[in-house]
Amino acid sequence: MATQSRELLESLFRAAVGAAHPSHCLPPNLPEPPPHGRLIVLAAGKGAGSLTEVAEQHFLARIPQERLDGIAVTRHGYGRPTRRIAMVEAGHPVPDEAGLKGTERALAFADAAGADDLLLVLLSGGASANWIAPARGINFADKQATTRALLRSGANIGEINCVRKHLSRIKGGRLARHAFPARIVTLAISDVPGDDPAVIGSGPTVPDPTTLADARAIVAKYRLDLPEAVIRALNDPGNETPKPGEQIFAGTSYRIVARPADALAAAEARVREAGYDCVVLGDRLQGEARDVAAAHARLARDFAATQRRMAILSGGELTVTLKGGGRGGPNQEYALALAIHLAGTGGIAALAADTDGTDGGRGRPDDPAGAFIDDTTLARAAAAGLDPAAFLADNDSTGFFNGIGDLFIPGPTFTNVTDFRAIIVDRPAF
C-alpha cells in the first residue's frame, strides 16, 4: 500500500477519534458538584476509563476527596489511572465475572445514594456488556449465551439492546430506579445510529420505549436458540422496563457530549485541508457489511471515472451474519468485500475501523480495529496464495488481512463513536 495513502487515511481516523475523546468533549459538560452530599461517579463502556479519569481530575480540584466516590467498569485494556474512583476491567463483547462483580458494586452505590447526593453516570459504547446484572430467574451463563446468540444473528444494535434491557437489573432505566431519590446527571458518548439515549449503553438512566413483546419479536425474527430460563424471563411481566412518566426519572438529566457526526465532521475538515473534495454519506449507516461495501465500491468507481480527488466518509454500525468459522468484525468484513468489488480499480484506497480501537476479535486490547485496502490488495493477496472470496465466505477477514499485512491495530482509543469508514479516490498514476 502506498505510504502516503495509508498516512492520510490514518490521520482521518485520528481526527475522528480526537473529536470524541473525553479530554476534549467532557470537561465543558461536567455539572456543578452537589452543595452538601456526595458526588458518586458510575461509568461503563470502552470510554469509561478515560471519562472517569477526566471527571476525577476535574472534581478533585473542587471538592474534598472524601465527597467523591464511585466505580468505573470498562473493557479489558481500557482502564486509566484514578485516585478515588475504582477502576474495573471486564469482558466485551461477551461479559465476564469481573463485569458481574463491578456491576453489583455500581448498584450498591446507587442503592446507597441519598437525596443530597449527585449520581454522575458516564456512558460510552460497550456499557451494555460491561454492566451485567442478570434479571431474576436467569444466571450469568444464560446471559453470556444470549449475548453470543445475538452477536451471531445479524441483529442491529437497537435490537440487541432491546433484548438485553429486558434481561437486566441495571439496563433500560433500572439504574434510575436503584438511585431514586438521588439526582442523576448522565453524560454519554454516543455509539449508535440516531444517538438515542434509550439505546446508548442500553439506557440505564432513561425510560425505555421498548417492551417485553418487542424483545420476544426480535428473538422470533432471528430464530434465536436461547436458554429456557431466558425465554421464561421474556414472558415474565415483572421484567418489564420502567416507562416514560415514572417518578424515578423526575430528577434526571441527560446530555450527549460526543456523537458520530462530530467525528465525521473532524475527519471531513482534515481531508479538505489535504485538498480533496468530500462526500459524507452520514453517520447512521446500517446493514450487512458486505452489502454496504458493494454499494460504496460502485460509488467510488463512479468518482474515479471523473478523475476528481474525492473522499467518501461514513459512520454507523454495520452487521455481520456469521456463517463461517473465521475471525473478524464488520469493519474488516466491509474492507474485504470492498476490495473484492473494487477489483483493483486504480487510485482508490480505504480504511474501515471501529473508533474504539477494536473490531470483533477475542476481547483483547491488541485486537485489530479494522483494515486498509488499496488498488494492490488483490494482487498482493494472489501473490501470497490467498483467495479473497474464500476468506469472505468463511467470515475470516482477520486472517485475510493478516496474511498481507494490512490490519489496522491502533490499540485502545478510550472512546467509541461507532464505525469509521474513509475511501480516498486519487487520480491513478500512469
The separation between CA 269 and the C-alpha centre of its own chain, rounded to angstroms, equals: 23
SS3 at position 115: coil
Residue 429, pLDDT score: 54
**60 inside domain:** yes
Write the pLDDT tens digit of every residue in 169-199. 999 999 999 999 999 999 999 998 889 999 9
Considering its fold, how many domains does the chain have in total?
2
Residue 52, pLDDT score: 98
Same domain, 396 and 307: yes
Instruction: Copy the grid coordinates of residue 58.
Output: 476535574
40-49, 270-279, 293-302, 321-330: least confident range: 321-330
Instruction: Copy the grid coordinates of residue 158.
Output: 437497537
Write the pLDDT tens digit of every residue in 77-132. 999 999 999 999 999 888 899 999 999 999 999 999 999 999 999 999 999 999 99
Query: Of 223, 258, 293, which residue constitutes the final position of a domain?
Result: 258
Other Cβ atoms within 10 Å of 344 Cβ, number: 13
CA–CA separation, 42 and 89 (whole Å): 14
Same domain, 399 and 300: yes
**236 inside domain:** no
> From start to end of 14-76, where are the E strands?
39-44, 68-75
**152 inside domain:** no
Instruction: Concatenate the DSSP letters of all residues of 191-205 into one string.
Output: -STT--TTTGGG-TT
Cβ pair 208, 140 in contact under 8 A: no
Same domain, 309 and 412: yes
Residue 400, pLDDT score: 98
- Alpha-carbon distances of 78 from 126, 189, 413, rounded to whole Å: 11, 15, 8
Same domain, 254 and 382: no
Q: pLDDT band at residue 362, thresholds of 50, 70 and 90? A: confident
Return the CA Rg of the chain.
22
Cβ pair 100, 141 in contact under 8 A: no
CA–CA separation, 342 and 373 (whole Å): 10
Same domain, 289 and 176: no
SS3 at position 356: coil
Same domain, 96 and 196: yes
Using CA atoms in the order 203, 208, 209, 214, what is the torsion angle rounded to 10 degrees?
90
CB under 8 Å to 385, separation ≥6 — which residues?
A: none
Q: What is the CATH number of the domain that holds 197?
A: 3.40.50.10180
> From start to end of 174-320, where are the E strands?
183-189, 252-258, 277-280, 287-288, 310-314, 318-319
Q: What is the CATH number of the domain that holds 275?
A: 3.40.1480.10
In this model, does residue 430 exceed pLDDT 50? Answer: no
Cβ pair 135, 239 in contact under 8 A: yes
Cβ pair 323, 391 in contact under 8 A: no
Same domain, 347 and 382: yes
**304 inside domain:** yes
pTM of the model: 0.91
**417 inside domain:** yes
**Residue 32 burial (10 A CB sphere; 0-12, 13-18, 19+):** exposed
Same domain, 177 and 272: no
Residue 364, pLDDT score: 84
**148 inside domain:** no
Instruction: Copy the grid coordinates of residue 427.
Output: 487520480
In this model, does residue 6 exceed pLDDT 70? Answer: yes
Other Cβ atoms within 10 Å of 269 Cβ, number: 13
CA–CA separation, 259 and 192 (whole Å): 9
Question: What's the whole-number mean pLDDT along residues 337-345?
Answer: 97
Nearest to 185 by CA among 195, 194, 197, 196: 197
**98 inside domain:** yes
- Give the rounded percent of residues in the chain with a pLDDT score beyond 70: 99
- Alpha-carbon distances of 287 from 173, 221, 324, rounded to whole Å: 28, 16, 18
Write the pLDDT tens digit of every residue in 298-339. 999 999 999 889 999 999 989 998 889 899 999 999 999 999
**Could you give phi then psi for residue 31, rounded to 5 degrees?**
-80, 165
Same domain, 32 and 129: yes
Query: Of 196, 231, 258, which residue constitutes the final position of a domain?
Result: 258
Same domain, 371 and 400: yes
Same domain, 301 and 333: yes
In this model, does residue 235 exceed pLDDT 80? Answer: yes
Cβ pair 336, 397 in contact under 8 A: yes
Residue indicated by cell numbers 458518548: 189
Instruction: Copy the grid coordinates of residue 53.
Output: 479519569
**272 inside domain:** yes
Whole domain around residue 72: which residue ranges?
21-133+168-207+242-258
Residue 3, pLDDT score: 73
Task: Report which residue type is found at 195.
Answer: D
Same domain, 183 and 303: no
Nearest to 163 by CA among 190, 138, 189, 180: 138
